[in-house]
Structure 1
């Protein structure tokens, strides 16, 4: 399999993985939708950082699992010269709609779209027709949303509290956690998470990792994600084949 094909597959799988837990972050701009949740910020208590930053991060991850739906925008760049822009809609427990524009280091642009509805998955490449995928990605989504996965990830993470910050006018608590050898030896991931003080939900994250896609060369990747429309009424249905 060529490097570009591996990169495309890694991008789709990465989008699925990050959809189910905490993702990655850009600075807010005026075109970025506001983050929101079902919690009323007017009456919600203001959360403070505890003496256990690991517990705070686990609480935020598990709070995101309780959300019935959300949307997110993700931008990924890597040292090979490729960049990927993704938009993701998610409805618990296993429905997702992912669109991706991949600008590869070769100069070519690849557009992909994926819809997951329960046990059925569909893929669309560029302007081609929708095709049903033999992969059960709905089951994969459900597995990654198991709270035990969060526990196993954070057990070996180095977690620290960085301080308070504001995002879109809201007060956030910022944490950093490092997971070593996440995807194999030397494949480390460092993530900063902006967690809301009124809802304990992740609103933005920023992740950097080094990975080997089978070429023998380490690739440095940075992903930025903004979460919004928590618990919105999102409909995801199978496409017309």
Structure 2
């Protein structure tokens, strides 16, 4: 399954471009330059990650003040360790309350696992033991890659399948370090999980992101 070309010429006029240039902010100019660099012949394909890195950097710069403010408040607030411990210990009760009414009561009457005391990031290497194959092509584009998570002793009978789409607002999504704890757990339960990369903006325009998701679904139907 390949991406279909968009019919019609919807390129903005010169006047529209000039108005945008006058009204745009420096961050918009940086993104536009990254996109233009990716369009260069020969070397453009090697500069495609520049657009995602630029967008990611700009996003981070906008959120740094709030991040430092909340971090400083947390570090210097009295009793913050006890507050966080209490919040972690009531995780299961909060989840059970949220699912009540949406999930049958009998299915909620289980022994819930204890909340993790360390971030999943620290167990990434352990989680990746469930990766069966990595960097599998599901389409024609170099960016259309996926990892297959499944148990090595998975029976040949049909298994449930999860297609995991990394977050990133279609701008800097990457399957690296995303969803590891979830997919590792599901693989242990007999699931097959596919964690996909997709083409990102601004170098790839809408709806190419959704086209990649549909291509991955088609690949899963044909190959899992």
For the criterion TM > 0.5, the same-fold answer is no
Higher Cα Rg: structure 1 or 2?
A: 2
Ranked by relative contact order (alpha carbons within 8 Å, sequence separation 6 or more), the top structure is 1
TM-score, scaled relative to structure 1: 0.25
Give 1 or 2: higher helix fraction: 2
Bigger strand fraction? 1
